Amino acid sequence: EVQVLESGGGLVQPGGALRLSCAASGFTFSSYAMSWVRQAPGKGLEWVSGISGRGGSTNYADSVKGRFTISRDNSKNTLYLQMNSLRAEDTAVYYCAKHPAELPFIDSWGQGTLVTVSS
């Protein structure tokens, strides 16, 4: 069974940093692109960042470009999101999401981890 489990969320002050992790199981991790998608409280979905299976290609939403870095460790079946210079508007539930192979849509989602940026 495909499973992705996020961790690392919490409360952080504006300007601070946080690293999210996503542990994957039930599939050959290195063969699948992965993404982070977030949802601010009471709002819609926002795609944040994506990475190819081997990690050689990354993409970002304009709202996080230059502040967030996506990476993966295929030996540990783990996806990461390093978030720097956090702002109040980054407050959201962050979902780890699996793509089918290198296709751009998402076929599996984690349960999400809440990031709150507040002083």
Partner 1 sequence: DIQLTQSPSFLSASVGDRVTITCRASQGISSYLAWYHQKPGKAPKLLIYAASTLQSGVPSRFSGSGSGTEFTLTISSLQPEDFTTYYCQQLNSYPLTFGGGTKVEIK
**Closer Cβ to partner 1, 16 or 27, answer by number:** 27
For partner 1, which residue of 106, 113, 115, 117 counts as binding (CB under 8 A)?
A: 106
Write down the least CB distance from residue 42 to partner 1, Å: 11
The arrangement of strands across the sheet holding 18-25 comes to: 3-7, 18-25, 78-83, 68-73
Only segment of 10-18, 70-78, 83-91, 109-117 that touches partner 1 (CB under 8 A): 109-117
CA distance 113 to 73: 20
Cβ(113)–Cβ(36) below 8 Å: no
Q: What are the residue ranges of helices labelled H in 3-94?
A: none
Q: Which two tokens stand for residue 77?
A: 């079946």
Interface map 28-67 toward partner 1 (x if CB under 8 A): -------x-x------xxxx--x--------xxxx-----
CB atoms within 10 A of CB 85: 13
For partner 1, which residue of 68, 80, 94, 95 counts as binding (CB under 8 A)?
A: 95
Applying CB under 8 A, does 11 fall inside the site for partner 1?
no
CA distance 47 to 2: 21
For partner 1, which residue of 9, 16, 55, 112 counts as binding (CB under 8 A)?
A: 112
Residue 29, phi then psi, degrees to nearest 5: -50, -45
Residues that bind partner 1 (CB under 8 A): 35, 37, 44-47, 50, 59-62, 95, 103-107, 109-112
